């Protein structure tokens, strides 16, 4: 059953939709989204241990956007795609947010995919794959793209597993996830 977290420290993000929400260790990373005033490119983190919101000031934030795809690998959050409805513009850029450095970097690719929003994303054996999506709700896609990020075993399996070149991280008992960072909380 859900429980409202009403006793938090710090200033929470404004209300929004179609944003990035990824959990890395005991930290939730929230980026961008749409609010009635337009699209956003702000970053907040929430420490689940201390129930504390922090507003992150970054030098190289992605464009303001919503409906992008994201995936957390190790201590990084990969963010790609998304649109700015007000400008009628979509993106195909890929950014990496490093939770330790609290900064973004843009991945330089030799080939971009067609810009889009609201698509699926997954990770396997060092490959990030995306599928489908749409562009400003006018055109739908049934294509798939893959990007090799050369991290077959992200974050060296967080010290909670062994790297297997064929399948990625093989987690120790009590841990799971592509980087073995998540702790199993039930039997």
Q: How far is CA 84 from the centre of its chain?
A: 18
* C-alpha closest to that of 156 among 174, 182, 178, 173: 178
Q: Is 159 helix (H, G, I), strand (E, B) or coil?
A: helix
pLDDT of residue 34: 96
pTM, two decimal places? 0.80
What percent of the chain has pLDDT above 70?
97
Q: Does residue 86 carry a pLDDT above 90? A: no
Which letter does DSSP use for residue 155 in this model? Answer: G
Number of neighbours of residue 119 by Cβ within 10 angstroms: 22
Cβ-Cβ contacts under 8 Å for 85 (sequence gap 6 or more):
34, 39, 66, 136
pLDDT of residue 77: 95
Q: Give pLDDT tens digits for 112-171.
A: 899 999 999 998 877 899 999 998 778 899 999 999 886 667 778 889 999 887 677 899
pLDDT of residue 28: 96
Give the mean model confidence (pLDDT) for residues 29-47.
95
Q: Does residue 187 carry a pLDDT above 70? A: no
Q: How far apart are CA 182 and CA 171, in angstroms?
A: 10
Confidence of residue 106 (pLDDT cuts 50, 70, 90): very high
pLDDT of residue 145: 94
């Amino acid at each position: 059953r859900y429980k409202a977290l009403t006793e938090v420290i710090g200033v929470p993000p404004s209300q929004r939709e179609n944003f990035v929400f990824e959990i890395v260790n005991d930290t939730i990373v929230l980026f961008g989204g749409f609010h009635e005033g337009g699209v956003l490119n702000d970053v907040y983190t929430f420490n689940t241990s201390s129930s504390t919101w922090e507003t992150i000031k970054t030098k190289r934030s992605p464009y303001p956007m919503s409906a992008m795809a994201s995936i957390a690998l190790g201590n990084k959050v990969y963010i790609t795609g998304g649109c700015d409805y007000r400008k009628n513009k979509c993106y195909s850029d890929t950014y990496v947010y490093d939770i330790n450095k609290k900064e973004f970097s843009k991945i330089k690719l030799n080939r971009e995919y067609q810009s889009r929003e609201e698509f699926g994303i997954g990770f396997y054996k060092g490959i990030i794959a995306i599928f489908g999506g749409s562009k400003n709700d006018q055109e739908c896609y049934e294509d798939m793209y893959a990007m090799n990020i050369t991290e077959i075993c992200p974050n060296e399996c967080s010290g909670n597993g062994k790297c297997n070149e064929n399948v990625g991280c093989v987690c120790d008992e009590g841990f799971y996830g592509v980087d073995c960072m998540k702790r199993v909380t039930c039997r």
